Structure 1
Amino acid sequence: MNHARAMNLSALLSQTAALFPDRPGLIQGERQWTWQEIDRRVDALVQALRSLGMRPGDKLLVMSRNNPALFESCWAAFRMGAVWVPVNFRLTPPEVAYLGSASEASVMLAEDCFAEHVEAVKAASSHLRSVVTIGLPRADELGYEALLVAHADAPAAMAQVDADHPLWYFYTSGTTGRPKAAVLTHGQLAFVVTNHLADLIPGTTEHDCSIAVAPLSHGAGIHALLNVARGAPTVLLASDRLEPATFWALVERHRVTNVFTVPTIVKMLVEDPAIDRFDHGSLRYVVYAGAPMYRADQKRALQKLGKVLVQYFGLGEVTGCITVLPPAMHAADDDDPDAHIGCCGRARTGMEVAILDARMQPVPAGTVGEICCRGPAVFAGYFNNPEATQNALRGGWFHTGDLGRMDARGLLYITGRESDMYISGGSNVYPREVEEILLMHPAVREVAVLGIADEKWGEVGVAVIVASQPGLTAEQLLHHLDGRCAKYRWPRHIFFWDALPKSGYGKVAKTDIRQRLVERGDVKEAAAT
């Protein structure tokens, strides 16, 4: 059957560069890069990667903090029909080694401060052929800027792609421990960008401006694509530390209109006294995702910023596209019908959301079941993991693993998680991964890690340990986690028990552990709201 090919997503950048060649596309500190400059640098990077033997379908592993090279690398991967594999720069060398090996990446692009991670990937991966360094390259590495200079002024042909051609491995974990690569495609992302522009930041033009406060390797990277599509520049922070005063100064200076972030960061920014020293009246959309927001924090943000909050609920597998609660559906007054307290909003444009029971049948309005969705934003499956793919897409729906209910109007309310996953500071933490590392300690016989509500971080981890020998301390366990597990995953509270409660099937019963922690007064709340 004859059919038209799909648009290569990198056309979004070249279209914007043709339309607004001299307008700024990226801003960091005193430096600005125009759209034309970025597009030409991306062309040079494509030619450089091709000279290293990269071909359509090959994978580019990227380990970097937010900077122009990280931003450019995704467009280069898309343009050459390769797959972009960015990793969270806060991960430890062993964690990144696994991602490098599992993704089968042939080229690694890394900032020069991550030499240990590069060595770990080299040792673990049989596919890695070249390392390109942002900053000062070591002996057997290539310098990023030198490569761009060597391939400057060479327009790069855009790879022909179909809608289901992979372009991004979005790493996510789930309940099975090891991270899985959710395969995002050119067709899916073209829908997602259009959908986000309709639902999250409608009316955005080249006169708008965005600011990136979260790593571009994940949700903030998706958000950056939207701004590129409309020609709005993105401001990058000069450091990977988020200082509220710096943030508000940048909002005032660049008349920032939209930002993608998480509830804990919104809370930190609006509670800081600096918010009152700078003009933030330009802000139109403050998007928060990754977790519901405590009502008290929501009210404070609305009082300080006005009606600019946008909530979206989603997962990497559907690039955030499940439900949206737009500014008009937020209100600071609890009695206002627009307040929608505890609500995650309505189905995204072009997506269908359903609450299903265990037999995969829809349940009546107001009944709790599993939140499932279908539509063009759903991923193509997990790379090299047919079993997990089949499980996630059974019955023709994407299964989120989250529990919720939908009212008669189609508005969604999340009630809990099927999995044990919790969200701390906007980052997903999967207890199974932390438990497996703790169990590697010779003095740990049994362990259970669970998330509990926390004022500052949304949720934090609690570890309950059964030791196999006396004298084991919390300090020893944290020392054991150091270097093996990213710090945001570390449990904040560690308790030692003689035994863990078990279900009739011999499984550790986390609901009973949670209840006992509350009864003992070890934790204040039974669960995060």
Structure 2
Amino acid sequence: MDLGTLLEFAVGRSPHSVAIVEDEKRYTYGELNAEANRLASSLRKLGIGRRDRVMVLLKNRIESVCLFWAVQKLGAIFTPINYRMSGKDVQYCINDVEPKVIVYEKASQKVSTEFRFDVRPLLISVGMDDADVAYRELVEKGSPEATWPAYPDDDIAVMLYTSGTTGNPKGVPRSHKNEYTAAVAHIIQNAYERDDSTFGAMPLHHTMGLRSLVTMCILSGKYVITPDFDAGVVLRLLASEKVNDLYMIPTMYHELLKSGGIQTYDLSSLRRIGYAGAPMSEGLVQECLRAFKPELFVNHYGSTEVYTITTCSIPGEKPGCAGKAGINQLVRLVNPSLEAEPEDVVALGEIGQVIVHAGSDEAFKGYWNRPDLTRRAIRNNWYFTGDLGYYDEDGDLFVVGRVDEMVISGGEHISPLQVEKVLGAHPKVQSAAIVGESDERWGQIVVAYVVPSDPSLSVAELDSFCKNHRSLSAYARPRKYIFVDNIPTGPNGKILRRALVDAK
């Protein structure tokens, strides 16, 4: 089923049910569909159609949701970008995806002024009048009664960007079938019910955000959002909207629990909670169980490329456990070497690389414009995740790290090489190495080991340099700097990051 048709079905079932709430604004499914039709019909008049890319740099807001559904009606490709990425990374995505449309708002206005185009796309602004056309003009001029064809379910519906070991973001095309199947799996694995409600904590540029949106559409449910994640506002909305389901990264749970206001609100409607995107500490798991008293608490382990890999519904009993394969998946652990084949399965208890059968309807078919990365990631119809893990005696998976040593902080994937390149550009730095350090709030924090070339170099000077560097995203900035005499390397010159941590 294509996603545009999915929305039409929801409207047919429940036209007057509340579909989306943003603070004080509310749309029924009928109203959501009418605005999506208006947007899509206006965009169609401007030449936007099937397979065209629509790049969106927006916070979680009603406009983002309406654009998502409008793009699906057009058969175009919804390409949401994290507006907090560095200008350099956003520019890379523009060059890579060649969008026909870019939509932005005040929060992403600064980065939008730095855009450079070989072929200039249509620029659409939300809440401003400084682009080719304003969002509200598209709505005003469009038709709420427009009709749309069905599209093949293997057409690309969404393009998500995720960081790679080279430091450049990777485009992950996701078909209508991928997104629909992943959403149905999410419903089953979380025991969601018809007419449920969820809080859309994760932005639509993240696979978790899309999952929350699409699952609510399938269930004729309510999707509650706020543009900025403020613990007090979120708690108020959870209580006032009687939200049933919560799906967030551990950092967000940490923010709610540490806000001091959680006892003020009646959260008895909240029955199911889940997390993904980063590890959750045992202490935070226990705090969540005490504070929310959920009927079901699920740890999701997955990726942008596949979505669900495994789930665990007993994180309180088995801290750090990723559980067993999702309902659509076949998972193996193989030799962690880069040359490993799907048949190189490790013994029970041994650490191996997690691989997932690529024949799943949840799995992508390859990276956008990167056949080299696709050949490396998908071999003999298996997706090599780059994650390391082991099975315990119950057959449950525990994920223990990354083959490529990527740092995952607050749900964001950070390339050590990219941060090291920035540090190396400082005139007083001889060499640097980045590692991830466990952190209760963020899952991991970025730690920089630095060999100074000038003894006058200070932590404050280096941190200021990173804060103001155009090529470094805010979430990738080191949170700790450790000055050392040398960076250990192997015979091939590769940094021995583990040796740095062990030497502390």
Residues 1:126 and 2:118 aligned together? yes
Contact 1:292 1:344 in 2 (8 A): no
Which residue number in structure 2 is paired with residue 52 of structure 1? 46
Match of 2:323 among 314, 336, 345: 345
Residues 1:495 and 2:473 aligned together? no
Distance 2:363 2:71 in 1: 21
* 1:203 to 1:211, Cα distance in 2 relative to 1, 3 A: closer
- Of 444-453 and 16-25, the range deviating more from structure 2: 444-453
Distance 1:383 1:422 in 2: 23
Contact 2:250 2:441 in 1 (8 A): no
Residues 1:486 and 2:455 aligned together? no
Contact 2:23 2:237 in 1 (8 A): no
Residues 1:370 and 2:359 aligned together? no
Residues 1:29 and 2:7 aligned together? no
Contact 1:423 1:459 in 2 (8 A): yes
* 1:384 to 1:462, Cα distance in 2 relative to 1, 3 A: same
- Of 504-513 and 356-365, the range deviating more from structure 2: 356-365
Distance 2:448 2:354 in 1: 28
Which residue number in structure 1 is paired with residue 162 of structure 2? 172
Residues 1:242 and 2:194 aligned together? no
- AA matched with 1:366: G
- AA matched with 1:473: S
**Secondary structure at the counterpart of residue 321 of structure 2:** coil
Counterparts of 1:38-437 in structure 2 under 5 Å? 38-121=32-115, 123=116, 125-138=117-130, 140-161=131-152, 163-200=153-190, 202-206=191-195, 208-218=196-206, 219-237=208-226, 239-243=227-231, 245-307=232-294, 308-319=296-307, 321-326=308-313, 329-331=314-316, 339-357=317-335, 358=337, 359-360=340-341, 361-374=344-357, 375-437=360-422
**Secondary structure at the counterpart of residue 169 of structure 1:** strand
- Of 292-301 and 262-271, the range deviating more from structure 2: 262-271
Deviation at 1:505, TM superposition (A): 1.6
**Secondary structure at the counterpart of residue 266 of structure 1:** helix
Distance 1:435 1:71 in 2: 37
Per-residue CA deviations over 1:125-174 (Å, capped at 9, x if unaligned) read 32332101111121x5201011111013341313522x331111111113
Which structure 1 residue ranges, 5 or more long, are not aligned? Answer: 1-6, 332-338, 519-529
Deviation at 1:19, TM superposition (A): 1.2
Which residue number in structure 2 is paired with residue 507 of structure 1? 494
Which residue number in structure 2 is paired with residue 465 of structure 1? 450
- Of 163-172 and 250-259, the range deviating more from structure 2: 163-172
Contact 2:201 2:229 in 1 (8 A): no
Distance 2:365 2:43 in 1: 25
**Secondary structure at the counterpart of residue 68 of structure 2:** helix
Which residue number in structure 1 is paired with residue 434 of structure 2? 449
* 1:315 to 1:262, Cα distance in 2 relative to 1, 3 A: same
Distance 1:451 1:474 in 2: 18
Aligned length: 493
Per-residue CA deviations over 1:197-246 (Å, capped at 9, x if unaligned) read 1112x24212x211122222212122211011111111112x41422x32
* 1:408 to 1:494, Cα distance in 2 relative to 1, 3 A: closer
Distance 1:65 1:127 in 2: 26
- AA matched with 1:356: V
Deviation at 1:68, TM superposition (A): 0.8
**Secondary structure at the counterpart of residue 120 of structure 1:** coil
**Secondary structure at the counterpart of residue 177 of structure 1:** coil
Contact 1:55 1:81 in 2 (8 A): yes
Deviation at 1:108, TM superposition (A): 0.2
Deviation at 1:272, TM superposition (A): 3.5
Per-residue CA deviations over 1:312-351 (Å, capped at 9, x if unaligned) read 00111112x101112xx244xxxxxxx1232111111021
- AA matched with 2:228: D
Per-residue CA deviations over 1:367-401 (Å, capped at 9, x if unaligned) read 22111111221112100000100111113211111
Deviation at 1:497, TM superposition (A): 3.0
Distance 1:460 1:441 in 2: 21
Distance 2:198 2:211 in 1: 12
Distance 1:259 1:91 in 2: 26
Deviation at 1:409, TM superposition (A): 4.1
- AA matched with 2:353: E
**Secondary structure at the counterpart of residue 217 of structure 1:** coil
Contact 2:86 2:473 in 1 (8 A): yes
- Of 285-294 and 269-278, the range deviating more from structure 2: 269-278
Distance 1:126 1:51 in 2: 23
Contact 1:96 1:120 in 2 (8 A): no
**Secondary structure at the counterpart of residue 273 of structure 1:** coil
- AA matched with 1:235: V
**Secondary structure at the counterpart of residue 400 of structure 2:** strand
Distance 1:187 1:228 in 2: 15
Deviation at 1:267, TM superposition (A): 2.5
Contact 1:185 1:380 in 2 (8 A): no
Distance 1:214 1:461 in 2: 21
TM-score of the superposition, structure 1-length normalised? 0.89
Distance 1:221 1:191 in 2: 12
RMSD after superposition: 1.8
* 1:467 to 1:301, Cα distance in 2 relative to 1, 3 A: same
TM-score of the superposition, structure 2-length normalised? 0.93
Deviation at 1:469, TM superposition (A): 4.1
Which structure 2 residue ranges, 5 or more long, are not aligned? Answer: none
Distance 1:370 1:23 in 2: 45
Contact 2:154 2:175 in 1 (8 A): yes
